[in-house]
Chain A
């Protein structure tokens, strides 16, 4: 049984070797088609991943809900901020929510050694890193212990560091606090900036917000990363709980991540590309079947000879099928390899994923490409194999 299988592979390989020009010509179509399909699947997945990552960096992961708390007076005093913070902590504990972060922004002017610079302060908690896929390039992100530091810790983006005149490789470093306050903040880490960023951004912990000047207060908005399947219901329960804890306060909640937008934005484009690549694939397969049929007609005598050696019709069927499958698998592997090389080419990343971190080539694209190659081989081999099975031996030999 094993030797019969190996013999079929050897036969198929010999057949491909002997007819290499024909095989090459017919398989170029298959290789190109598989390459096209892999590229589309790869690009689609990479774009989706890139877009989702980008969306998650700005809006949070699927599903992030924003809870906005406004005090009865409309102004948030330090006491209000403390009360709101306690209520959020209690809700987090009650509903067993793993990731919660305050969120707020202020624009500040800082005095750098070379002059004043404007920057955006984003006030967060330590969980923000996970919730927004923050990637620290140098140094580190916040820990809970940083809230106790006398000099507030900050994580700055590259634009901020460049404008301030700091080298990301030389962290930690200190920057003067904004305004006319005495003291410094410690830059403990750095992150990349979006390519469109003109103004620097830095992150600070909500517990230390007040240290950045009188214009900065502790945020009254909080993000919670909730399990997507129960997120909507859970957000309502959290809202009710906050209302119960903070009577008289206005509590609003809404979904703040863009997961639904990502699917909606890319879905139609991906479907159109997929339809085109399936058409290309179909044409490649038709070409292969066409050539296989012509070849089988030419090979009738050879098949008759093999039958005279004792090849059963099942073996002939398998051999012809194997020829097709071996050939398309090789062509498909080459097509997939080319597609992967294209997807990984730096220029492609620059042109197609401008402004985003280029994602890895998805493994699913490679698997799809290879499975499709094998499938095409089997389909394109089926018709000729059925014809070959029905050859009348002596008539074929004498033809």
Chain B
């Protein structure tokens, strides 16, 4: 089971782009990845098992899963915040197990952007200060030019006139756009969106997802959306369901109802 390169393209995905992404080397590659945690008396709890997934630049991948299916753990591993206990995982061609912790943190800051359900904007800081925050961990040039870079990014997300507004003065949609700007401000290669629309109404959620999808596609970054909402996952070019720690491709005709009971297994690799 795992990723299938022959997943049907979602509506609106250009075949040329698909071919290009399929031809390039994967940005992220997971082979038989598993994660277990000890629970005492020598026993192990398996959270993730035999995860296989290749992610290429420019791809949008949706992962659907209910609570307790291992979404957080998968997010931790994909975001270089945690290591698998079995299997192999490469990020940008390098085995993650061989990356020291400090370098992993730097790689994460440079190459991975996070978008969270609760926006997680830094309280008390203005929109532009929030977007500047990742640049504090960047290069000297990024640090010096942080205000200009952050303001430009907010402008791209349509918030050019809200840069000095604090989070409590922004609507949910605006806050999530600030969070997206923050995730993208260092031009990451991979964007991990953890329930990005979970705190938004349906309309705003779709708008925000459209924006996130468009802007990551434009920048050539890969986007992995982890969600419980099938309609959000359906915006991705490839879709998977996470069920009891296993990742399975979702067929085009799968319904939310079907997914809530058991995985709608598709062409698993």
Residues of A within 8 A of B (CB): 2-4, 6-7, 10-11, 14, 17-19, 301-302, 305-315, 393-395, 397-398
Kindly state the separation between the CA atoms of A4 and B82 in the bound complex, as whole angstroms.
Answer: 24
Shortest beta-carbon distance, B216 to chain A, in Å? 17
- Other than the known A3-B139, A308-B79, A311-B137, what 7 A-B pairs have Cβ atoms closer than 8 Å? A6-B143, A305-B120, A309-B133, A309-B134, A309-B137, A310-B109, A312-B106
Kindly state the separation between the CA atoms of A3 and B106 in the bound complex, as whole angstroms.
Answer: 14
| A310 partner residues in chain B, CB cutoff 8 A | 105-110, 134, 137
Q: Give B192's nearest chain A residue, CB to CB.
A: A308
Q: Give B134's nearest chain A residue, CB to CB.
A: A309
The answer to whether B122 has its CB under 8 Å from any CB of chain A is yes
B140/A3 in contact, CB under 8 A: yes
Instruction: For B123, give its contact among A18, A306, A311 (CB under 8 Å).
Output: A18
Interface 1/0 per residue, B79-102 and A, CB below 8 Å: 101100000000000000000011
Shortest beta-carbon distance, B66 to chain A, in Å? 15
Q: Give B121's nearest chain A residue, CB to CB.
A: A305
A312/B122 in contact, CB under 8 A: no
25 A-B contact pairs sorted by A residue (CB < 8 Å):
A6-B143, A7-B137, A14-B125, A14-B129, A18-B122, A19-B124, A305-B122, A307-B81, A308-B114, A309-B134, A309-B137, A310-B105, A310-B107, A310-B134, A311-B105, A312-B105, A312-B106, A313-B105, A315-B105, A315-B137, A394-B72, A394-B79, A395-B72, A397-B114, A398-B194
| A313 partner residues in chain B, CB cutoff 8 A | 101, 105
| B116 partner residues in chain A, CB cutoff 8 A | 305, 397
| B82 partner residues in chain A, CB cutoff 8 A | 394
State the majority secondary structure of interface residues on A.
helix
A10/B122 in contact, CB under 8 A: no
Number of interface residues of B (CB under 8 A): 31
| A312 partner residues in chain B, CB cutoff 8 A | 101-102, 105-106
Residues 45 to 79 of chain B near chain A (Cβ within 8 Å): 72, 75-76, 79
Kindly state the separation between the CA atoms of A3 and B108 in the bound complex, as whole angstroms.
Answer: 19
CB-CB under 8 A for A309 and B109, given A6-B143, A11-B136, A393-B76: yes
| A306 partner residues in chain B, CB cutoff 8 A | 133
The 9 closest A-B pairs by CB, nearest first: A310-B109, A18-B124, A3-B140, A309-B134, A7-B136, A312-B105, A3-B143, A310-B137, A308-B114
Kindly state the separation between the CA atoms of A332 and B220 in the bound complex, as whole angstroms.
Answer: 51
Kindly state the separation between the CA atoms of A398 and B120 in the bound complex, as whole angstroms.
Answer: 9
A394/B81 in contact, CB under 8 A: yes
| B144 partner residues in chain A, CB cutoff 8 A | 3
Interface 1/0 per residue, B109-147 and A, CB below 8 Å: 110001010001011110001000110110110011000
Q: Give B137's nearest chain A residue, CB to CB.
A: A310
Kindly state the separation between the CA atoms of A310 and B81 in the bound complex, as whole angstroms.
Answer: 10
B109/A311 in contact, CB under 8 A: yes
Kindly state the separation between the CA atoms of A3 and B140 in the bound complex, as whole angstroms.
Answer: 5
| B133 partner residues in chain A, CB cutoff 8 A | 305-306, 309
CB-CB under 8 A for A394 and B75, given A7-B143, A14-B125: yes
Kindly state the separation between the CA atoms of A187 and B232 in the bound complex, as whole angstroms.
Answer: 102
Kindly state the separation between the CA atoms of A10 and B136 in the bound complex, as whole angstroms.
Answer: 9
Shortest beta-carbon distance, B186 to chain A, in Å? 8
Shortest beta-carbon distance, B238 to chain A, in Å? 23
Kindly state the separation between the CA atoms of A212 and B122 in the bound complex, as whole angstroms.
Answer: 87
Kindly state the separation between the CA atoms of A369 and B144 in the bound complex, as whole angstroms.
Answer: 34
Shortest beta-carbon distance, A232 to chain B, in Å? 63
Kindly state the separation between the CA atoms of A395 and B109 in the bound complex, as whole angstroms.
Answer: 18
Q: Give A301's nearest chain B residue, CB to CB.
A: B120
Kindly state the separation between the CA atoms of A191 and B29 in the bound complex, as whole angstroms.
Answer: 91
Kindly state the separation between the CA atoms of A4 and B72 in the bound complex, as whole angstroms.
Answer: 30
Shortest beta-carbon distance, A13 to chain B, in Å? 11
Q: Give A2's nearest chain B residue, CB to CB.
A: B140
| A4 partner residues in chain B, CB cutoff 8 A | 137
Kindly state the separation between the CA atoms of A305 and B107 in the bound complex, as whole angstroms.
Answer: 15
Shortest beta-carbon distance, B158 to chain A, in Å? 23
Kindly state the separation between the CA atoms of A395 and B76 in the bound complex, as whole angstroms.
Answer: 9
Shortest beta-carbon distance, B105 to chain A, in Å? 4
| B134 partner residues in chain A, CB cutoff 8 A | 309-310
B120/A314 in contact, CB under 8 A: no
Q: Give A312's nearest chain B residue, CB to CB.
A: B105
Kindly state the separation between the CA atoms of A6 and B101 in the bound complex, as whole angstroms.
Answer: 23
| A14 partner residues in chain B, CB cutoff 8 A | 125, 129
| A7 partner residues in chain B, CB cutoff 8 A | 136-137, 143
